[in-house]
Chains A and B, each alone.
Chain A
Amino acid sequence: MSSIIARRRRPAAGYAAVAGGLVVAGVLYGTLSGGGASAASNQSNTDIAQGKSLFNASCSSCHGLGAQGTAQAPSLIGAGAAAVDFQMSTGRMPAKESGAENDRKPTDFTQQQIYDISGYIQSLGGGPTIPDSSQVSTNGANTALGYELFSTNCSQCHGFAGAGGALTYGKNAPSLNAATPTQIYEAMLTGPEAMPVFGDGTVTPAEKKDIIAYVIDTRNEANPGGFSLGRTGTITEGAVAWLGGLGFLVVIAMWLTAKRRDPVIGMPDSDHGDAQ
């Protein structure tokens, strides 16, 4: 301790103090902040009554007290726990405003609360249930088949590498980089917003696992050719060719042809007998 005190007037002491304060603040924030999934949440602990009161507090103003729907929001009867878990864990619901679509944002609910609300909605009218961990695990998945299924059913909206894409009227298919395996499964199963439904009859649970494995593998895969430029394809490549390639070379050309500082030695006419 005394050695620290002895160094308190050194120039670096100020930086050290600020850095230390930041570290302490960060650790405290990380430990104390709630929200998002917490380790203790568990589907089997679903408390439907709690879910109902949470629903009434946060969701019923748009979805109605019995989840029957209002002019602002559709009925959730029959939507299923999977739909609720997807919408709430990605933060899309509760929607802050009604617009073309809702984008992913941080959620204010803990995972346990989301399970409770999903359980409540499931109890109202049934619907697709939240997949368990074995259903979304990528162990033993056939990634190659996942590639075939993804490229046929998913890449037209989400892009060949899941970078997202445009839809009509201001909507877009989001990037898949932030989605958890469970969320990917649930999205396929429930078809949120404009996304079509890929139920278990059309895309079996095993096929869903394959697709998830493909998505996870692809987004974790390194880019061996350099920076990926967003994995959007030729648009960014063309921009780099013009701005990076030509831009750099034009600067070099200007350097190469710039006026020299040493004096110019003007030679007399150098032609030897050429026709004038």
Chain B
Amino acid sequence: MSETHDPSAGNPLEGLAPHHEAEEPPARRRVIGTPSPTPAAVDNRVAAPEESPDYLPTDPSDIVSAKNAERVAALCFLVAFAAGVCFLIAYIGLEVGPYNSGNSVIAALRSNYALGSSLGLALLALGTGSMIWVRHLTPNIEIEEHRHVLKSEPEDRAAFKKDFSTGAAITGITKRPLLRRTMLLATAPLALAPLWLLRDLGPLPGTSLRHTVWKAGTRAVTLGGLRPLTPADMGTAGSMITVIPEGYQDDDDALAKAGVIIIKFAPGELHVPTIFDGKTQLYGMNWTVDSTIVAYSKICTHVGCPVALYEQTTHHILCPCHQSTFDASNGANVVFGPAARALPQLPLGTNAEGYLVALSDFTQPVGPSFWERG
């Protein structure tokens, strides 16, 4: 009686009592989004069909809606068929590459779009049809299966142990230490053999990580143009260029350690400190040309990416891989980032013809650190 709470009906408190409403139908006014008073799917279970309870029923509950669903699924499959045929036609009809007379990128684009959208449509239509099939054309069966106890019975375990132990006793392996030990001895080298065979995967590193192909007198040439450079070629302050040792442009193994960047500073801006490691010089202004042109290794000392993001305003060289930053005006020492060592400096000078050359190889190993580096 007091269930239809119509606010327009007189005294809103009339007939009101805190009530236990469990069995009443839902009131008309209800805040949207809150659960309904009687939950939607209370028990909509039905009993299994009486005949042949061991075998599943085969027909969906609502024949009419199943027929509609069948039509929709069939339509999906027809769409899939049509799309599949389009795929086959598109493959034959759209040429790419050498047989295409136009722009190969456009041809690849057209072909990719045509093949991909037809194939994708076919697959999604098949998926949608299959989904409708399983959800609307089958009876909504729920069955229950018992879980086996995973642990074996104690008798089975005991019997297994006895069988296993009997077999082991038959081999006599526990009672014959001579046999056992010599067999283990025999298998030891063979077990090592696969690892042994890996030795020739590659040469030993030796001292190769300590050197590059730069030598005294090697000219620096631009990468790409392969032109040697004079100090005048470096132009105005703020100039930077990547150079490689002359003659090694096709040798990737050499280039992976020998790439160098040459930077031109304004007079007075470059202050490479003089650093020695024992008797070996590592950095110095005597390795620059005209006190304004300096050469550093292009291989980052962190993990080896080419480091060449030079900002002429800050004189910082930034490595784009992990943001190690080096100060080019100060011997390329690390100012930020994970690199632990400054970029090695290549001793730079000029030869008789006036071209920029290396005065010697790098005096420290370039690139990432390694255990034996020192």
Residues of chain A having any CB pair with chain B under 8 Å = 145, 148-149, 152-153, 156-157, 165, 167-169, 171, 191, 193-204, 207, 221-226, 252, 255-256, 259-260, 262-272, 274-276
Task: Known A191-B239, A204-B225; judge A267-B56 contact (CB<8 A).
Answer: yes
Closest 4 CB pairs of A and B: A201-B233, A199-B235, A224-B108, A196-B240
On whether the beta carbons of B240 and A197 are closer than 8 Å, the reply is: yes
Which residues of B are found within 8 Å of A153, using beta-carbon distances? 241-242, 308
Q: Residue B194 at the A interface, CB < 8 A?
A: no
The 8 Å CB contact of B239, one of A148, A202, A274, is: A202
Closest to B305 in A: A156
Q: Residue B223 at the A interface, CB < 8 A?
A: yes
Closest to B127 in A: A252
Inter-chain CA distance A272–B145, complex, in Å, is: 10
Residues of chain B having any CB pair with chain A under 8 Å = 41, 44-49, 53-54, 56-57, 60-62, 103, 105-106, 108-109, 112-113, 116, 127, 131, 135, 139-146, 148-149, 222-225, 227, 229-230, 232-242, 263-264, 306, 308-314, 316, 318, 320, 325, 336
The 8 Å CB contact of A201, one of B41, B60, B235, is: B235
B230 CB → nearest A CB, Å = 8
* A-B Cβ contacts below 8 A, count: 172
Which residues of B are found within 8 Å of A223, using beta-carbon distances? 109
On whether the beta carbons of A165 and B320 are closer than 8 Å, the reply is: yes
On whether the beta carbons of A270 and B145 are closer than 8 Å, the reply is: yes
Q: Among A165, A203, A204, which residue has the most Cβ atoms of chain B within 10 A?
A: A203
Inter-chain CA distance A256–B263, complex, in Å, is: 63
On whether the beta carbons of B234 and A267 are closer than 8 Å, the reply is: no
Task: Known A197-B239, A207-B224, A263-B61; judge A168-B112 contact (CB<8 A).
Answer: no
The 8 Å CB contact of B310, one of A196, A224, A259, is: A196
Closest to B47 in A: A266
Task: Known A266-B48, A274-B148; judge A202-B234 contact (CB<8 A).
Answer: yes
Inter-chain CA distance A47–B240, complex, in Å, is: 34
On whether the beta carbons of A222 and B224 are closer than 8 Å, the reply is: no
Task: Known A153-B308, A266-B45; judge A224-B105 contact (CB<8 A).
Answer: yes
A202-B240, A264-B45, A267-B56 are known contacts; what are 15 more A-B pairs with Cβ within 8 Å?
A: A153-B308, A196-B311, A197-B239, A199-B233, A199-B236, A202-B235, A222-B103, A225-B112, A262-B62, A263-B61, A264-B141, A266-B48, A267-B142, A267-B144, A274-B146
Which residues of B are found within 8 Å of A165, using beta-carbon distances? 320
On whether the beta carbons of B311 and A168 are closer than 8 Å, the reply is: yes
On whether the beta carbons of B131 and A191 are closer than 8 Å, the reply is: no
Q: Among B41, B44, B234, B236, which residue has the most Cβ atoms of chain A within 10 A?
A: B236
Closest to A255 in B: B131
